[in-house]
Amino acid sequence: MFSLSPSPIDPANVMERLNHPAAGAYASFEGWVRNHNEGRPVMRLEYEAYAPVAVKEGELILDEARRKFAIVGAICIHRVGALEIGDIAVWVGVTAAHRGAAFDACRYIIDEVKARVPIWKKEHYASGNSGWVNCEAPPPD
Amino acid sequence: MFSLSPSPIDPANVMERLNHPAAGAYASFEGWVRNHNEGRPVMRLEYEAYAPVAVKEGELILDEARRKFAIVGAICIHRVGALEIGDIAVWVGVTAAHRGAAFDACRYIIDEVKARVPIWKKEHYASGNSGWVNCEAPPPD
Amino acid sequence: MKRLHVLYFAILREQRGLNEEHVQSAAATPAALYAELVSRHRFSLPQDRVRVVVNESFADWDSAISDGDSIVFIPPVAGG
Amino acid sequence: MKRLHVLYFAILREQRGLNEEHVQSAAATPAALYAELVSRHRFSLPQDRVRVVVNESFADWDSAISDGDSIVFIPPVAGG
């Protein structure tokens, strides 16, 4: 299940949905709002999503993970709106019988979500400037 | 920090120690007690540790992870004593500036802990039999 | 002429100053429509850094677009 | 003869029926001591599936052991 959350993500609460007696391994990932990005101090940021397509693409990624890896369950939640330093921006939780599949699927999901899901991040810097990450400068390489 | 816990592990509580404003990525792993192992129904199990050497070896593994990967913090806690189905047997939490290092270090730690730390698992099967995992039969290959 | 429903997000939304609008255009493809909008609104992103969604599905730049279609240009994403 | 402090864990503890004991032995190495204990207590694990800890550090099977050493034979581990 992929969802967008306008309110803080509570992994301890959400992960209960992943409990399953056949699940022996649980791998999770959280993206936290850092106080810097590429050397610039960040004060806060905003995430904006194209909601219907973000959810559709997120669900597609979870389906791909279920086909590629021997997992039991997978959930991903992405925050939208205004976030502060330390907030959870994205959370991925995966269960499997064995740890290899849980790790591989968790990493696959976060990598694909970052690459494909229409969500954008605007950073507000200590300088007072702000910018849409990946959109302002020429591509990184 | 590596520790052994005779009481249930509470990741939500422990991971607060990993909060750090430079940490943008948090990867974690939990090993849960499954209801089966290699096709046999498991009712409950016990973990036994050689405590001083388990802690020393666990700390060594965390030091190795800190040297090998660009991480900010790492904690591992392993349960000892009697566990029920669904209990957390082991928890690993790692923070880093970027997700690659967090995932790689988390996986390194759990792989090495399982391979090296003197902790043993006795499974009690639905049949009434029990056995020390990895100790009873010839090695798997 | 087609009547197209265009939604804007992130840097394109700010550069356009609108969340969405209806556009009258003769453009046959998303590529033609984007070129038209770039020249009209001075969008900073070249087409090769943008993807396109038509009627809530990712589409090719040279697919055909029809009257009433919903079109969204997707700037480089940055979730996570 | 040396007086050695031997601790037992897991399957070795059950097969010995003790958590620990003091052993009088002329064994010069952990390998010799383990062979002696295997023949005395019918431990099921061959030496090549066991590691040895001397005074709380992993040690070589052919290292020298001394009077008063603490020796632990480590069956195949199964944490996690």
Give the DSSP letter string of D10-53. Answer: HHHHHHHT-SEEEEEE--SSHHHHHHHHHHHH--SS-GGG-EEE
Please indicate whether residue A137 or residue A50 has the higher confidence score (pLDDT).
A50
- Residue A9 · residue A91 · CB < 8 Å: yes
| Percent of chain A residues topping a pLDDT of 70 | 96
Whether residue A44 lies inside any domain: the answer is yes
User: DSSP assignment, residue B138?
Assistant: S
How many whole angstroms separate alpha carbon C25 and alpha carbon C22?
Answer: 10
- Pairwise CB contact (< 8 Å): C77 & A139: no
Question: Could you tell me where the DSSP H helices lie in chain B?
Answer: 11-14, 51-68, 99-116
B134 touches chain D (CB under 8 A): yes
Cα separation values, C34 from A135, C27, C41, C70, C74, Å:
16, 9, 10, 13, 11
Residue B97 forms part of a structural domain? yes
Contact A125, A37 (CB under 8 A): no
- Check residue A34 and give its pLDDT: 87
Instruction: Return d(Cα A104, Cα A71) in angstroms, integer.
Output: 10
User: In this structure, is residue A139 part of a structural domain?
Assistant: no
Count of domains forming chain B: 1
Entry field: residues in chain B: 141
Q: Using CB atoms, which residue from A48, A110, A113 is nearest to C10?
A: A48
pLDDT average, residue stretch B103-132: 96
Q: Determine the average pLDDT of the residues in A90-109.
A: 97
| B110–chain A Cβ distance below 8 A for any pair | yes
Question: Tell me, what DSSP letter sits at residue B69?
Answer: S
Chain D residues within an 8 Å CB radius of B121: 78-79
Give the burial string for B47-79 (b: 16+ CB within 10 Å, else e). Answer: bbbbeebbbbbbeebbeebeeebebbbbbbbbb
Name the H helices within A15-86.
51-68
Instruction: Say whether pLDDT at A16 is over 70.
Output: yes
Residue A138: predicted pLDDT: 57
Does A86 touch chain B if contact means CB atoms closer than 8 Å? yes
Residues B23-50, mean pLDDT to the nearest whole number: 92
In Å, what is the CA distance from D37 to each residue of B120, D21, D42, D51?
A: 21, 12, 8, 14
Following CA atoms D73, D76, D79, D80 in sequence, which dihedral angle do they give, to the nearest 10 degrees? 170
If you ran DSSP here, which 8-state letter would residue A94 be given?
A: E
pLDDT digits (tens, 9 = 90+) for A30-49: 999 988 888 888 888 999 99
Please indicate whether, in this complex, the C-beta atoms of D72 and B47 are within 8 angstroms of each other.
no
Residue type (1 letter), C2: K
Is the minimum CB–CB distance between A140 and chain C shorter than 8 Å?
no
Q: Backbone phi, then psi, for D76, in 5-degree steps? A: -55, 130
The pLDDT-based confidence of A136 (bands split at 50, 70, 90) is confident
CATH topology of domain C2-74: Ubiquitin-like (UB roll) (3.10.20)
pLDDT band of A137, cuts 50, 70, 90: low
- Asked if residue A111 belongs to a domain, the reply is yes
Length of chain C: 80
Q: Which of A53, A119, A139 sits opposite C79 (nearest CB)?
A: A119
Q: Measuring CA to CA, which residue among B79, B101, B61, B85 is closest to residue B14?
A: B79
List chains touching D (3+ CB pairs under 8 A): B
The two three-digit tokens of residue C55, written as one number: 């009627």
* Per-residue pLDDT, A21: 83
What tens digit of pLDDT does each residue of D2-43 get? 999 999 999 999 999 999 999 999 999 999 999 999 999 999
pTM: 0.94
Per-residue pLDDT tens digits for C49-73: 999 999 999 999 999 999 999 999 9
Q: CA B108, CA B120: separation in Å to the nearest integer?
A: 20
- Predicted confidence at residue B138, as pLDDT, reads 57
Is residue B31's pLDDT more than 80? Answer: yes
Tell me what the pLDDT averaged over chain B comes to.
93
Q: What angle do CA B85, D74, B54 make, to 5 degrees?
A: 65
DSSP-derived 3-state class of residue A106: helix
CB B102 within 8 A of CB B95: yes
B115 contact residues in D (CB cutoff 8 A): 77
Region of residue C44 (left: phi > 0; alpha: psi -120 to 50; beta: else): alpha
Q: How many residues does chain D have?
A: 80
Distance CA D3, CA D26 (A): 9
- Which domain does B77 fall in, by range? 2-9+17-133
Both tokens of C67, joined, read 């009257």
A137 or A13, which is more confident?
Answer: A13
The answer, yes or no, to whether residue A139 has pLDDT greater than 80, is no
Contact A11, A78 (CB under 8 A): no
The pLDDT of residue B137 is 66
- The helix (run of H) or strand (run of E) holding residue C63 is none
- Cα(A127)–Cα(B132) distance, integer angstroms: 61
**Domain boundaries of chain C, sorted by first residue:** 2-74
Examine the pLDDT at B70 and tell me if it is beyond 70: yes
CATH at residue B108: 3.90.1170.40
Is residue A42, in this structure, part of any structural domain at all? Answer: yes
Whether the per-residue pLDDT at A77 is higher than 80: the answer is yes
**What ipTM does the predicted assembly reach?**
0.93
| Mean pLDDT computed over B70-77 | 98
